[in-house]
Structure 1
Amino acid sequence: MSVRTLLRQHSILTKIYFCTVITFCSLYAAQPIQPVFQHEFALTSFQAILFTTLMMLPLGFAPMFYGVLLESLSARLIVRTAVLLLGGLELVFSQTSNYLLLLILRGLQGMVIPAILTSLVSYISFTAPREDVQTAIARYIAATILGGFLGRFLSGLCTDLFGWRFFFFLLGALLLWAFFLLRTLEKDANLAYSRPKAAEVMELIRQPQFFWLYCTIFAVFFVFAGLLNFLPFQLKAINPAFRETGIGFMYFGYVMGILVSLNVRRMISLFGSETKVAMSGLFLYIVGICGFMIPDHRAMFLAMFVFCTGMFMAHALLSGYVNTLAKSKKGIANGVYISFYYLGGTIGSFAPGALYECCGWKVFLASLIAVICGAMYCLRRLQQSAATVALKAA
């Protein structure tokens, strides 16, 4: 392979990672400043969190309903059109003052994001040399984590400096730039996408090892989304003068996901199996949640590192383990995994709020610990089911 070809591949992958970071910034930009929306539009906390919930909801159903589109059109057309639409929607969002219209715009953005992410992953597989695909995908995952943190932190910082509208306008401008950068993508790349049929999905879920795995990841992201979504309100309750920059910086522990994702193989070697790493991650998850019970933002900042390490240990290992369990139709198994992951996050982003509103922060956290205990039970059943299947195969 010539140096020129290698440089071109590197340039395309860099543009894809940039687009990934900006897309995830858009997904989570509203989360740390939900109290700002609550104050400006005289909303309840439930109404304010819908700005994040509506962005997540389509991601839970995308693998089921995007099949026709993704099988019939080129990835280049899909991703550039979706990026252009998302950029335009962000610009309109930044200039809108009606709450209902803002919610509609966030819902539309959430419908566009799955098309972008699915196309970008496909392009990585298409562009990267076969021997470098695993590394390229690991960098993509790191880009999603970096985007998740930067979206939260920069949103809070820009809100303090220039008001909440500025960052959404900036995101719109960056997405339009990404649309321009992605013009160099190959035109004839088609998505290697497997559209799952309902019967195939049900057949998969009825298998005990997949059922317990999907229940585990549902619970894991339920708790993650719940805590991160209501944390800004609790920080404001502890100290009403707490600035949005500080709230955004509280999510810095999120970058632990990059460290975890790049050391998956080492952790498996250390613990002995994927499920043992995931179980250890769930124990850390509970330790992190306990740290959030201390009513001090410094303790919460440190707890975030433990909490995020536990979450990403479970997620990184289970997302790989689903491919180990799936002897065939891995695309469908991964698609259902993504659906359960984001459906857990969508429900978790608002459902625990009822306890937070009526019973307070500590009861809210105790309920999340109970969910993680449920996840541990599911993971234990997964270990037993996988052992039974392996025994029968032998």
Structure 2
Amino acid sequence: MSTPSPALARVEAPARARAAVVAAGMCAFFTMYVTQGLLPSLRSVFHAGVAELSLTLTVTTLAVAAAAPLAGSLSDRFGRRPVLLSALAGLSTATLGAASAASLHQLLVWRALQGLFVPGVFTATVAYIGEEWPAHEIPSITALYISGSVAGGFLGRFIAGLVTSRWDWQAAFLVLGVLNCVFTLLVARGLPASRGFRASRSLRASLAGLPLHLRNGQLLGSYAIGFGILFTQVCTFTYVTFHLADAPYDLDLRQLSLLFAVYLVGMVATPMAGRLAWRFGQRRVFGWAVALSAGGMVLTLSSPLALIVLGLTASSAGVFIAQAMATSQVPSFARQAKSSAVGLYVTCYYVGGSVGAFAPSAIWLHAGWPGCVALVLAVQAAIGVIALRVWPAGAGHR
């Protein structure tokens, strides 16, 4: 009896493998920004200023950016599934450890450790998708991962706020840690062993691929696009809160926190985008996504609050679709050491988010919300041009 080829064997992935991809995305982002909604509670507990408390976010994102290239290289050397499961276990442990923190400094240590494990989840999962699914399914499977990350980011904030209001912030980390453990088990049971993985000769060989990635024009363009994607999202939601907290809106903290519910549109938009990418190509869908996001940003210049929220919803949908398209492109552009290529993308992505938080502050002070919108539109135009120049028109039809 003949043995089916690996390509044919991979065509029909079981539903549990897809569910495992979603679960991995949720785990990665359950706790990434969890303290964002807990800062008022942490201020009363630790009697610290806003600048100190904001470090609970900064140390995590900086750790992600710093660890991403190494996480990718480890995945190239030791395999996607082992690195993914190890990272998920470490992330769960660090989250449970954060529940035991007795001081702000201890919490910062655990938050940094969380950030160190996150890139292993992202880089290994994206590289696994690129190797284990047929080319025509990669955009849609990547979109499932992005949907999971969107759901995880929202649910992490929501659950943490709910638990903290009932008990305390430590209980919130405990609950999220337990949930991370549950989803880690789902990934372990649902994700099949790798078939398309080819290990690097050594960790040094994988790290040696980093300079090659930096000489690859398509990857460099994709890294710039990743930087711009998170820059625009963080800039938008950082400064629109100031805009809506001022007159004539005067929204309170609870009302402002509900703005993040617009993220949930990404759970619907990104799977649809994956199917569109197969039909029309990733570059074209990316262009549509940027146009949708830009149109949403223009709408936020309106006066009625309902139109502003609608604009934020459209902008977020465009951002998540663009992220799905960019993420699915990176492994195909890497000639070798695919996971370390994804790791560099993650680094640029989170550096963009860090810059998007503080760099627009001068524009906000001098030009307010319209100035921030103009900056976001300029960055969106730039990444649209980059995609047009470096991404092949037929991407998604391979």
* TM-score, normalised with respect to structure 2: 0.74
SS in 2 for 1:345: helix
**Structure 1 partner of 2:316:** 308
Which string of whole-angstrom CA distances, capped at 9 and with x for unpartnered residues, describes residues 62-85 of structure 1?
A: 442225533444555544443333
Which string of whole-angstrom CA distances, capped at 9 and with x for unpartnered residues, describes residues 193-239 of structure 1?
A: 773534313311xx3x5544433331221121233345556655668
Pairing 1:1-394 to 2, within 5 Å after superposition: 9-11=14-16, 13-38=18-43, 40-73=45-78, 75=80, 77-121=82-126, 135-181=140-186, 184=189, 189=194, 195=206, 197-204=209-216, 207=217, 210-229=219-238, 242-244=252-254, 246-264=255-273, 267=276, 274-292=282-300, 298-321=306-329, 326=333, 328-329=335-336, 331=338, 334-353=342-361, 359=365, 363=368, 366-367=371-372, 369-380=374-385, 382-384=387-389
C-alpha distance in 1 between matches for 2:129 and 2:383: 33
C-alpha distance in 1 between matches for 2:283 and 2:215: 23
C-alpha distance in 2 between matches for 1:165 and 1:199: 42
CA contact (8 A) 2:119 2:346 kept: no
Distance 1:385 1:298, change over 3 A: closer
C-alpha distance in 2 between matches for 1:75 and 1:46: 37
SS in 2 for 1:263: helix
Give the Å deviation of 1:303: 2.7
Give the Å deviation of 1:171: 0.5
Distance 1:259 1:279, change over 3 A: same
Identity over the aligned pairs, expressed in percent?
21
Distance 1:161 1:21, change over 3 A: same
C-alpha distance in 2 between matches for 1:9 and 1:273: 25
- Matching residue's letter, 2:156: G
- Matching residue's letter, 1:91: L
Give the Å deviation of 1:142: 1.9
CA contact (8 A) 1:153 1:251 kept: no
- Matching residue's letter, 2:345: Y
Distance 1:38 1:231, change over 3 A: farther
- Matching residue's letter, 1:242: D
Give the Å deviation of 1:108: 0.9
CA RMSD in angstroms comes to 4.3
Distance 1:368 1:93, change over 3 A: farther
Q: Which moved more, 1:186-195 or 1:304-313?
A: 186-195
Distance 1:52 1:334, change over 3 A: same
Which string of whole-angstrom CA distances, capped at 9 and with x for unpartnered residues, describes residues 157-185 of structure 1?
A: 33444443332220112223345555547
CA contact (8 A) 1:24 1:148 kept: yes
C-alpha distance in 2 between matches for 1:344 and 1:134: 23
Distance 1:180 1:144, change over 3 A: closer
Q: Which moved more, 1:82-91 or 1:43-52?
A: 43-52
C-alpha distance in 1 between matches for 2:390 and 2:94: 46
Distance 1:301 1:257, change over 3 A: same
Distance 1:273 1:188, change over 3 A: closer
C-alpha distance in 2 between matches for 1:218 and 1:8: 32
Give the Å deviation of 1:347: 2.4
Unaligned runs of 5+ in 1: none
Which string of whole-angstrom CA distances, capped at 9 and with x for unpartnered residues, describes residues 229-264 of structure 1?
A: 4555665566888354x4443212212223332233
Unaligned runs of 5+ in 2: 4-10, 201-205
C-alpha distance in 2 between matches for 1:281 and 1:133: 18
Distance 1:365 1:383, change over 3 A: same
CA contact (8 A) 1:90 1:168 kept: yes
C-alpha distance in 1 between matches for 2:90 and 2:211: 33
C-alpha distance in 2 between matches for 1:89 and 1:115: 14
Distance 1:174 1:374, change over 3 A: closer
Distance 1:172 1:226, change over 3 A: same
Distance 1:86 1:61, change over 3 A: same
- Matching residue's letter, 1:70: S
Distance 1:262 1:8, change over 3 A: closer
CA contact (8 A) 1:74 1:188 kept: no
CA contact (8 A) 1:9 1:128 kept: no
